């Protein structure tokens, strides 16, 4: 799978070249607190060390690393954001410690190997953007055999290591849980509104202009269904997953981890495809299963030899007060399925990179529901596009 660099820049990197977008991440307090605490409550990982920040953006993680006592920080960024990062480094008087390097991680050359890799690489539902590939590449090329990876970007810190002797048991996890949600109703309402509108249009066109359009009702309905209920740029019958900031009470069953990543050892092959079985049971009363919510968390725990003084977790799970800009990805079923407490879901989860764009994901959810009575509901199979 070769990636056209020009297309990748136009489609992926372009947004990161705007301060507006960097500010959005810098304003995410949950994200910021997690990285900040991971660094400043574990200064021993930085003091006197050489650090690499993969995708430095505004330079924030590089600056914190320097403030925590790093000897040298290499801050690599693919976009022109480097100009602002350099300005910021100088304004905070760290130009002797932080060296901002413009280029893609895969292509730049560093003057030396590093002790620590720090990065904020997490996309929606963890793996969207496929940026972790670049961190793996940096680890394999630039981390000293004894180096620590503090991949905190939306907080992973100390997750990866090039050397099996020094273990960093930190990891990232992807979660899925059954949810209820009004988003599907809203979409169906919008679709039905468009159809109501169509019917009066057909009536009027016949009465006022003498042309019968009713024969186009079916194709119009199909076009609108596609628009409201399916992905725009994907193959038929594939829906687009949606961003949502779920309330914890919208989660109607137990959450299942669909993937654990060991950032010290996992390779690109380990994250290319995700296959898992979601076992979940419905909790609390009768309700409507409207689909699934997906989120992630990442941890910094250091290594056995050099553990974190303070373990930090960054979670993007549904939360009342601690929402993040990642929110959750929501995968909707049409129509919803009636379920009750104790019903058991057995769903096979499969995620691949989209063929058209390696930074986007195709997801399939297929499975069945066994009611607590023992009876099985009709099985389902739904495909989604994380765009």
Ligand X SMILES: Nc1ncnc2c1ncn2[C@@H]1O[C@H](CSCC[C@H](N)C(=O)O)[C@@H](O)[C@H]1O
- Which residues are CB-neighbours of 222 under 8 A, at least 6 positions away? none
Smallest gap, in angstroms, from Cβ of residue 242 to a copy of itself?
Answer: 21
Phi, psi of 103 (to 5 degrees): 160, 165
Is residue 126 part of the contact set for ligand X (CB under 6 A)?
Answer: no
For strand 273-281 and strand 344-353, is the pairing parallel, antiparallel, or unpaired? antiparallel
- Which residues are CB-neighbours of 46 under 8 A, at least 6 positions away? 39, 65, 68, 69, 70, 116
Question: Is 222 one of the annotated active-site residues of the chain?
Answer: no
Smallest gap, in angstroms, from Cβ of residue 106 to ligand X?
Answer: 6
**Nearer to ligand X among residue 78 and residue 386 (C-beta):** 78
Is residue 16 part of the contact set for ligand X (CB under 6 A)?
Answer: yes
Which residue in 129, 204, 356, 375 is the catalytic one? Answer: 129
Pick the stretch among 78-86, 209-217, 272-280, 288-296 that binds ligand X (CB under 6 A).
78-86
**Nearer to ligand X among residue 21 and residue 288 (C-beta):** 21
Q: Of these partners, ligand X, a copy of itself, none, which one is at the site of residue 224 (CB under 5 to 8 Å by kind)?
A: a copy of itself
What is the Cα gyration radius of the chain?
24
**Nearer to a copy of itself among residue 20 and residue 248 (C-beta):** 20
Q: To the nearest 5 percent, what fractions of the chain are helix, strand and coil? A: 30, 35, 35
- List the interface residues with ligand X, window 146-175 (CB under 6 A): 153
Cβ 132 vs Cβ 171: under 8 Å: no
Is residue 303 part of the contact set for ligand X (CB under 6 A)?
Answer: no
Report the C-alpha gap between 233 and 362 in whole angstroms. 12
Token digits for 190? 């919008």
Token digits for 319? 């939360």
Among 38, 52, 74, 77, binds ligand X (CB under 6 A): 77
* Cis amide linkage into residue 16, ω under 30° from 0: no
Cβ 268 vs Cβ 259: under 8 Å: no
| Burial bucket for residue 144 (CB in 10 Å: 0-12, 13-18, 19+) | middle
Smallest gap, in angstroms, from Cβ of residue 170 to a copy of itself?
Answer: 22
Q: Of these partners, a copy of itself, ligand X, none, which one is at the site of residue 377 (CB under 5 to 8 Å by kind)?
A: none
Token digits for 96? 């002797």
Q: Of these partners, ligand X, a copy of itself, none, which one is at the site of residue 205 (CB under 5 to 8 Å by kind)?
A: a copy of itself
Question: Is 129 one of the annotated active-site residues of the chain?
Answer: yes
Q: Which residue ranges make up the site for a copy of itself (CB under 8 A)?
A: 18-20, 23, 26-27, 32, 36, 58, 60, 63-64, 67, 84, 87-88, 90-92, 194, 198, 201, 205, 208-216, 219-220, 223-224, 227
Which residue in 24, 99, 120, 311 is the catalytic one? Answer: 120
Among 51, 55, 97, 170, binds ligand X (CB under 6 A): 55
Report the C-alpha gap between 183 and 244 in whole angstroms. 9
Cβ 328 vs Cβ 291: under 8 Å: no
**Applying CB under 6 A, what is the total number of residues that bind ligand X?**
22
Pick the stretch among 75-83, 193-201, 262-270, 308-316 that binds ligand X (CB under 6 A).
75-83
3-state SS, residue 177:
strand
Smallest gap, in angstroms, from Cβ of residue 334 to a copy of itself?
Answer: 20
- Active-site positions read 120, 129
**Rule CB under 6 A: which residues touch ligand X?**
13, 16, 25-26, 55-58, 60-61, 76-79, 81, 104-106, 120, 131, 134, 153
């Amino acid at each position: 799978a070769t990636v056209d660099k020009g297309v990748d820049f136009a489609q992926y990197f372009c947004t990161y070249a705007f301060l507006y977008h960097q500010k959005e991440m810098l304003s995410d307090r949950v994200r910021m607190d997690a990285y900040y605490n991971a660094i400043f409550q574990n200064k021993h990982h930085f003091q006197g060390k050489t650090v690499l920040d993969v995708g430095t953006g505004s330079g924030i993680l590089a600056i914190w690393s320097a403030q925590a006592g790093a000897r040298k920080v290499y801050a690599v960024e693919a976009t022109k954001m480097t100009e602002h990062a350099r300005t910021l480094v100088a304004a905070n008087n760290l130009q002797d410690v932080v060296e901002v390097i413009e280029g893609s991680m895969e292509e730049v050359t560093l003057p030396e190997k590093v002790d620590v890799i720090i990065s904020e690489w997490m996309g929606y539902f963890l793996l969207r953007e496929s940026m972790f590939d670049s961190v793996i590449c940096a680890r394999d090329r630039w981390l000293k055999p004894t180096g620590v990876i503090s991949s905190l970007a939306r907080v992973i810190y100390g997750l990866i290591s090039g050397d099996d002797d020094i273990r960093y048991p930190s990891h990232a996890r992807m979660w899925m849980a059954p949810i209820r949600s009004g988003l599907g109703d809203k979409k169906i309402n919008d679709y039905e509104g468009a159809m109501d509108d169509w019917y009066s249009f057909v009536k009027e066109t016949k009465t006022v202009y003498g042309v019968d359009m009713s024969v186009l009702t079916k194709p119009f309905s199909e076009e609108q269904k596609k628009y409201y209920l399916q992905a725009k740029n994907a193959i038929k019958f594939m829906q687009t997953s949606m961003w949502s900031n779920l309330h914890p009470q919208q989660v109607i069953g137990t959450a299942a981890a669909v993937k654990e990543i060991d950032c010290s050892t996992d390779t690109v092959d380990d994250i290319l495809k995700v296959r898992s079985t979601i076992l979940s049971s419905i909790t609390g009363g009768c309700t409507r299963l409207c689909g699934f919510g997906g989120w992630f968390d990442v941890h910094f725990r250091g290594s056995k030899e050099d553990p974190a003084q303070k373990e930090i977790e960054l979670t993007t799970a549904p939360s009342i007060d601690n929402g993040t800009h990642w929110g959750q990805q929501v995968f909707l079923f049409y129509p919803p399925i009636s379920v009750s407490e104790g019903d058991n879901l057995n769903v096979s989860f499969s995620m691949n990179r989209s063929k058209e764009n390696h930074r986007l994901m195709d997801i399939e959810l297929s499975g069945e529901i066994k009611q607590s009575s023992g009876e099985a509901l009709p099985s389902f199979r739904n495909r989604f596009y994380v765009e």
